[in-house]
A = this chain, B = another copy of it.
């Protein structure tokens, strides 16, 4: 049943070799907002999610790299708390 849900919001974390970081960063930034270090987040349509994964799979090394996408129905299904410096709390200001 979970498989049929339409996820429209995502968090993405990556851990890729330094030589591919720039390319992976650019791909993620095309679809999501940069949130913190190697974490991206934002609204994304199911079709763009497919494109994001396709783009990433072209770049990453299947053995050395790791990308995890947490898909959520929308931005109402989670709560958020920020400790410390809240200036970076959403990263939405980094949207181009």
Which residues of chain B are near A89, meaning CB under 8 Å? Answer: 68
User: C-beta contact mask, A36-52 vs B, less than 8 Å → 1, else 0?
Assistant: 11110000000000000
CB contact between A67 and one of B7, B70, B83 (< 8 Å): that residue: B83
Indicate if A73 sits at the interface (CB-CB under 8 A).
yes
- What class of interface size applies to chain A in its complex with B? 35 or more
Pair B7/A79 contact, Cβ less than 8 Å: yes
A binding-site residues for B, Cβ under 8 Å? 2-3, 5, 7, 11, 13, 15-16, 35-39, 53, 56-57, 60-73, 76-85, 88-89
Extra pairs beyond A63-B85, A65-B83 (6, CB < 8 Å): A60-B83, A66-B83, A66-B85, A69-B83, A70-B80, A71-B78
